[in-house]
Amino acid sequence: MRVLFSTWAWPSHLYALVPLAQACRARGHEVLIASQPRLAEELARTGLPTAVVGTDVDSVELVRGYVLPSGPAPAPSSPAPVPAPGSGGQGPRALRMVLDNAESMAGDLVALAREWRPDLVVHEPTAMAGPIAAAAVGVPAVRHLYGTDLMLRARGPLTEALAPLAARFGVIALDPFGTATVDPTPTTLQVPTDYRRLPMRYLPFNGMPARQAPLSPSGRPRICVTWGHTMARLAADRFLGARVAAALTGAGAEVVLAVSAAQRPLLDGLPDGVTVVVDAALDDLLPACDLVVAHGGAGTVLTALSHGLPLLLVPQLPDHAGHSKQVAETGAGEVLTRDEATPEQLRAAAARLLDEAGPARAAARKLQHELRTQPSPAEVATALEALTGR
């Protein structure tokens, strides 16, 4: 079987696809991961066969357009926030980003599919060139989520918006949700749907950096602060990791700040109580930690929960807010807005979440159990074979 994986050039979206791609290859199938030129280096680091398609889109600038305004955090029971409308009748800016990337990739991806002839196309949920290419060559398309399915509410508008692009390749009545959806989130974080879901155990992957030496045991609780990659790319003042880590030194715990090499220059003025770790995989750090404080990215959330750790989240993008709301609803964490994330509030929330006998710890461990009992990527690879009739 040949499986074509597709994502636009956003590293965390690529990382979500890699465990399943590796599992397919381990079962003897041919795999190929395709994305835009800007992701070429990250593609190579996966160690899997790759292809560059389309042209680059300034997705960072598009993402800047829907950073959330300041204000109080929504109640857990309220709807997840959605991106603000764009100007000129263009619709939500997030939808524009999805469409721009689909436009950039569709021609080359369809050509690649016609030449390589995959039996199946697997794409992350915002890479809409994937289902178009699958439909153009008459094979099943499978979405692969990287977190809670926040695209579900956009199904109707997305179908309508993609129709003209799909028609260029002879595709009529495109279903952007395809044949099935691979879902790596624990059951409690999943949303009710009417599509075929393929649950899959979440396995962290973040670009295969050098392995981090385990953190030594500490007599105090340990907080891991991480701010992912996205926020620093948008603007230096959106990277709150240093500010948050400094505030938490007064919480009676050891503070470890995990950053990328690119974020290192943003750490001026850190107090002595913060240990900085550069380019380390969270999966290596978290076994020795008791709490994760972060931006709300899906990969960070799922990696923390895979270790049974509660989360304190300060989201600034709609999807981060959506993931954070889901966590808060389970009781496995708390959410503060950027304005609410004062040193006093951060320390108070951390103290509650560090309580070993508290409800957040129990809720996080429940989600960890749900993650561990889901089918492995190898089992999901077998299910993909069934979709193709093999």
DSSP 22-81: HHHHHTT-EEEEEE-GGGHHHHHHTTS-EEE-S----HHHHHHTTPPPS-PPPPTTSPPP
pLDDT in tens, 45-101: 999 999 999 999 998 888 887 787 766 655 555 444 444 333 333 346 678 889 999
In a 3-state reduction of DSSP, which class is residue 199?
strand
Give 17's pLDDT tier (boundaries 50, 70, 90): very high
* Per-residue model confidence (pLDDT) at position 390: 66
* Mean pLDDT (whole number) for 160-185: 95
Task: Pinpoint the alpha helices (H) of 168-229.
Answer: none
- For residue 38, name the pLDDT band (cuts at 50, 70, 90): very high
Confidence band, pLDDT 50/70/90 cuts, at residue 210 = low
- Grouping H, G, I as helix, E, B as strand and the rest as coil, residue 311 is strand
Q: Strand, coil or helix: what is 182?
A: strand
User: What pTM did the predictor assign?
Assistant: 0.92
DSSP string, 236-299: GGG--HHHHHHHHTTTTSEEEEEE-GGGGGG-TT--TTEEEEES--HHHHGGG-SEEEE---HH
CA dihedral 335, 234, 240, 364 (to 10 degrees): 40
pLDDT for 88 equals 31
Average pLDDT along the chain? 91
Q: Give tens-digit pLDDT for 317-370.
A: 999 999 999 999 999 999 999 999 999 999 999 999 999 889 999 999 999 999
Q: Let me know: does 127 contact 8? Beta carbons within 8 Å.
A: yes
Q: What is the DSSP string of 113-157?
A: HHHH--SEEEE-TT-THHHHHHHHHT--EEEE-SSS-TTGGGHHH
pLDDT of amino acid 76 = 57
Q: CA 191, 196, 202: angle at the middle one, nearest 5? A: 60
pLDDT of residue 95: 85
pLDDT, greater one: 221 or 251:
221
Quick one: residue 117, left, alpha or beta (phi over 0 = left, psi -120 to 50 = alpha)? left
pLDDT of 153:
85
The pLDDT value recorded for residue 96 is 87
pLDDT at 260 over 60: yes
Angle at 355 between CA 285 and CA 267, to 5 degrees: 45
